[in-house]
Amino acid sequence: MSELDELYQEVILDHNKSPRNFREMTHANRKAEGYNPLCGDHVTVFVQLEEGVIKDISFQGSGCAISKASASLMTAELKGKNESAAQVLFENVHKMLTGDPSDDQAVDKVGKLQILSGVCKFPARVKCASLAWHTVNAALKGESQPATTE
């Protein structure tokens, strides 16, 4: 498979075309906005957090296929997880996306999100894939400033 085919796999194209949990959430008790100032990508992540567990999660915004698919996959993966599990997943996803040489096992610890592993071959696109993750991180921490990929 070429690097390009690895980046734009069927699952990613599908999540781009029909993103899951792509909606505003009126009952959210955590919410954060994220920007990528480089390309203008913009995402809002909504979370309903109950006793440390992500009961519901959704997102809205505009961006490229990678950022949209990553956000969609993320919401599907995080629903039902507790905050600390979400944090561990965030760290492993980040290591996988950046191709962190200190942990080449990270890719095995992210479940279905492995599908995004091709991103690390495209350094200019790492921020697209990580935007939603930085944003959910900010939402869970209750930060009031918009998250950015910078």
**Contact call for residue 57 and another protein (CB under 8 A):** no
Binding residues for another protein, total number by CB under 8 A: 22
Mark 99-136 as b/e (b = at least 16 C-beta within 10 Å). Answer: eeeeeeebbebbeebebbbbbbebeebbbbbbbbbbbb
Among 3, 103, 108, 143, binds another protein (CB under 8 A): 3
CA-based nearest residue to 66, from 11, 105, 21: 11
> Quick one: 51 or 124, whose CB is closer to another protein?
124
Give, for 56, the enclosing helix (H) or strand (E): strand 53-62
Q: How far is the CB of 21 from another protein (least distance, A)?
A: 19
42 in contact with another protein (CB under 8 A): yes
Q: 91 CB contacts (<8 Å, ≥6 apart)?
A: none
Of 17-36, binders to another protein (CB under 8 A) are 17
- Binding of another protein at residue 71 (CB under 8 A)? no
Decide: helix, strand or coil at residue 22: strand
Does 123 bind another protein (CB under 8 A)? Our answer is no
Shortest Å, Cβ 22 to another protein: 15
User: Which residues sit at the interface with another protein, rule CB under 8 A?
Assistant: 2-4, 7-8, 13, 17, 38-42, 62-67, 122, 124-125, 128
